[in-house]
Amino acid sequence: MADPGAPWHMRVPNDRMYKRSDWQRFLAGLVLGAIISWGVFLIIYGTLQHEQAKELAKLRHDLHQANKDIALWQEDVKALNKKMKENLIIQEVKVHLTNSKKYKLDSLTEFNIEASAEEEAQHLIAQDIESAYETRNVLKKAIENKKYEFDKTIYEIEVHQIYFFTTFSIEIQIKKVEKVM
């Protein structure tokens, strides 16, 4: 037998310790409490995760729907813009004589030349811009081939610029001046 006073000797607890029910109940309560608290934790955590997953799925659906709505609105706006551009019509015709100072014209003669050239383009009012653009060369020739006579002077003009929008603008210049006796 070994020496009971030796430091390596291990003491076995007596039988009373194992037979005490209060320790057994305490340990059983700890184990049972741990199991119950783990179960409650899993239930609460699972419920919260399920709610978050539902909310996340709803938010993804809303985002996807919003992106589809944005795409539809953008397509509608582009189509509407295109349609509006196609349907723009000429509402006004303006003619401007750019080199009247070079020929020292008075304002009445300048006005008469501009008004006569404007008469040539009046048929374009209420036409769409695309149609007016297609007939621009014919209009240019009509304005340039006409002789404008005021105060015993014949003016030949040329079209310098044409601007197409709701206001149809034409810039003209005097090309030649002839005095009539």
Distance of CA 6 to the CA centre of its chain: 91
| Cβ-proximal residues to 166 (8 Å cutoff; 6+ apart), any chain | 88, 89, 90, 91, 92, 129
Would you state the pLDDT for residue 2?
54
pLDDT under 50: residue ranges of the chain: 1
Q: How do residues 63-83 score in pLDDT, each as one tens digit?
A: 999 999 999 999 888 888 777
Predicted pLDDT of residue 130: 82
pLDDT at 106: 86
- CB atoms < 10 A from the CB of 159, how many? 20
* % helix, strand, coil for the chain, step of 5: 60, 20, 25
How many helices and strands, by DSSP H and E, does the chain display? 5, 4
* pLDDT at residue 127, rounded to an integer: 84
Element (H, E) at 36: helix 21-86
Which pLDDT does position 94 carry in this prediction? 93
Encode pLDDT of 13-45 as tens digits. Answer: 666 666 667 777 888 899 999 999 999 999 999
Domain chopping of the chain, boundaries: 17-85, 92-179
Residue 118 in 3-state DSSP?
A: helix
